[in-house]
Amino acid sequence: MTVDLTAPAASADPYAVFRSLRDTDPVHWSEAHRAWLITRYDDVSDAFRNKAFSNDRVRPVLARRKEPSAASDVLGLLAGWMVVTDPPEHTRLRRLAAGAFKGQRIAVMGEQITAIVDRLLSAFLEGDGAQDLISEVAYPLPAIVIATMLGAPPADRDRFREWSDELALVAFGTGGAARADRHQRALRGLREMDAYFHTLVDHRRRALGDDMLSALMARDGDDLLSDDELVAMCALLLFAGHETTTNSIANATLALLRHPDQLDRLRADPDLIGPAVEELLRFDGPIKVLNRWVVAETEVRGKRISPGERVHLVLASANRDPMRFDDPDTLDLGRNPNPHIAFGKGIHACIGAQLARMETRIAVSRIVSRMPGLALAEEPVWKDVLASRAMDRLVVRHS
C-alpha cells in the first residue's frame, strides 16, 4: 500500500486517509511522495525536536545547480528564509525577527484589521446571490494586512497579492514544461518584488516609523538584519502569512456552515471566538503537511529513517489523533485544553501565530455576525495539493 495525499479523493477527505494511516501504519513510506508520512500526534511532536530532521532544504538544492539562472537569484532569496535554516543561523534570524511579532505590537493592529475586514464585508454585502467569500474577503485580507504592516502605500497593495502568488509558484515548484512559462513570469515578478522591498527598506532606514519593517530593523545586542535579510523577511512574511491565513478563514467558515449547532453557539456567545478559532484550526487548519529533510540516521516507531530521505509531518492528522483529543472528529468550539499543532511546534513554531489568530478571529466574528443568513451555495472543491488544506472557492449566499 502506498498513500498519495494529492489524489482527488484524499484531498476531498484527507481525514479518512489519516485515520487509516494512524491505525495501521503511523510511520508510512509513501512511494508516491518519496517520503515518510508521520501521522500520530506524539510522533509528530517528537519529530519537531529530532535533530536528525532538518529545515535546511533549499540551500542543498541551490548548491546542486551548476549554472546561474534566473531562478538562482530568487532561490537565493528563499534560501535565506528562517523557515529553511537550522540553528545557529535560525536562532539568530528568529531572535532578530521576534521583536516585530511581539503580542503587544500585534494587539494594537486589532482596530485596523477590523476596519479592513469590515470594508471587504460591506462590499461583499452589496453583492447579490452566490459569491465567492475567498476571492472577495479571505484572500485579499491578509495581503492588505501585510502591506499595511510593512508600511507600503495603499496604492501598491494589489502588487502584494501578485507577488504572493508568484512566491507560492516558485517556492512550491512547478509540474512540467506546460507551466515553465508561468514560472518564468513569476521569477520576473519576484525580481520586481525584490527591488520594491529594497526601496522600501532604504526609505525606512532613513525614516523609521512604527510599522513592522521598522521594528525588524531593531538591534539585538550589536547584531542586526542586513538589507538583503530584511528583504527576505518581507517576502517570507508575505508568503507565510497570506495563503495560510486565507485558508484559516475559509476553512473555519466552512466548518461552521457544516456544523450549524456550533455556528449558533458562536452567534449566541461571541466571546467564545478565542477558543473557537483554536478548535477550528485543530479541526480543519490551513496546513496539512510540513516537510523535513533527514540529515542523520534515526528511528521513529521502529522504522529506520536515513539521511537524504524526506519526512512529512502530517499536522492535520496529529490534530485528529484520538490518543490526544477526545472525540477528535467532533467540532467543539469550547474544547479546552486544546494543544493542537496547527502552527507547528518548537523552535520553528509559526512566528506570526498571534497575527494569524487575530486576523482569523476578527474575520470569522464579523462574517458570522454581519451575515445572519450565511449559507453554502455550492459544494466546495479542495485543491489537490500536499502542503495546504485549501479550497478553490467558497461560494456562499448572505441572504
Partner 1 sequence: MRIAVDNSLCEAHGQCGVVDYDLFPLDDDGFSAVGPSREVPAGEEATAELGVASCPARALRVLP
C-alpha cell belonging to residue 70:
534566473
C-alpha cell belonging to residue 346:
518548537
d(Cα 105, Cα 212) in Å, to the nearest integer?
8
Where does the chain have alpha helices with state H?
Answer: 8-12, 14-24, 41-47, 59-64, 70-79, 89-98, 103-107, 110-126, 133, 140-149, 157-171, 180-206, 212-216, 227-258, 260-268, 273-284, 315-318, 353-370
The reply on whether position 320 binds partner 1 by CB under 8 A is: no
Q: What track of x and - describes contact with partner 1 for positions 267 through 286 (by CB under 8 A)?
A: -----------x--------
Q: Which stretch binds partner 1 (CB under 8 A): 89-97, 175-183, 359-367, 385-393?
A: 89-97
Q: How many residues bind partner 1 (CB under 8 A)?
A: 31
Residue 83 burial (10 A CB sphere; 0-12, 13-18, 19+): buried
Q: State which of residues 65, 102, 188, 304 lies at the interface with partner 1 (CB under 8 A).
A: 102
Q: State which of residues 81, 101, 197, 239 lies at the interface with partner 1 (CB under 8 A).
A: 101
What region, left, alpha or beta, does residue 176 occupy, with left being phi > 0 and alpha being psi -120 to 50 degrees?
left
153 CB-near residues (< 8 Å, 6+ apart): none
Site for partner 1 in 322-341 (CB under 8 A): 337-341
200 CB-near residues (< 8 Å, 6+ apart): 150, 151, 152, 213, 234
Least distance from C-beta 284 to partner 1, angstroms? Answer: 18
The reply on whether position 245 binds partner 1 by CB under 8 A is: no
Least distance from C-beta 275 to partner 1, angstroms? Answer: 11
- For residues 15 and 254, the answer to whether their CB atoms sit within 8 Å is no
Q: What track of x and - describes contact with partner 1 for positions 23 through 52 (by CB under 8 A)?
A: ----------------------x--xx---
The reply on whether position 295 binds partner 1 by CB under 8 A is: no
Nearest to residue 114, comparing CAs of 391, 374, 381, 369? 369
User: What distances in angstroms separate CA 391 from CA 135, 183, 248, 379, 382, one per listed residue?
Assistant: 11, 22, 11, 10, 4
Closer of 45 and 245 to partner 1 (Cβ): 45
Residue type for 26, please? P
The reply on whether position 95 binds partner 1 by CB under 8 A is: yes
Closer of 235 and 341 to partner 1 (Cβ): 341
Closer of 76 and 275 to partner 1 (Cβ): 275
- For residues 236 and 353, the answer to whether their CB atoms sit within 8 Å is no
Strands 310-314 and 35-38: parallel
Q: State which of residues 349, 369, 383, 392 lies at the interface with partner 1 (CB under 8 A).
A: 349
The reply on whether position 347 binds partner 1 by CB under 8 A is: yes
Closer of 48 and 382 to partner 1 (Cβ): 48
Strands 35-38 and 131-132: unpaired
**Cα end-to-end distance, the chain, whole Å:** 47
The reply on whether position 71 binds partner 1 by CB under 8 A is: no
Least distance from C-beta 305 to partner 1, angstroms? Answer: 19
Phi, psi of 327 (to 5 degrees): 40, 60
Q: State which of residues 6, 32, 92, 98 lies at the interface with partner 1 (CB under 8 A).
A: 98
Least distance from C-beta 266 to partner 1, angstroms? Answer: 19
d(Cα 301, Cα 12) in Å, to the nearest integer?
28
Least distance from C-beta 377 to partner 1, angstroms? Answer: 35
Q: Which stretch binds partner 1 (CB under 8 A): 100-108, 140-148, 164-172, 291-299?
A: 100-108
The reply on whether position 219 binds partner 1 by CB under 8 A is: no
Site for partner 1 in 104-123 (CB under 8 A): 104, 107
Q: State which of residues 351, 368, 390, 391 lies at the interface with partner 1 (CB under 8 A).
A: 351
Q: State which of residues 71, 257, 295, 353 lies at the interface with partner 1 (CB under 8 A).
A: 353
Closer of 131 and 319 to partner 1 (Cβ): 319
In the block, cell 535565506 appears at: 80
Q: Which residues partner with 300 through β-bridges? A: 303
Q: State which of residues 139, 163, 239, 343 lies at the interface with partner 1 (CB under 8 A).
A: 343
Closer of 357 and 389 to partner 1 (Cβ): 357
Binding footprint of partner 1 on the chain (CB under 8 A): 45, 48-49, 87, 91, 94-95, 98-99, 101-104, 107, 278, 337-341, 343-351, 353-354
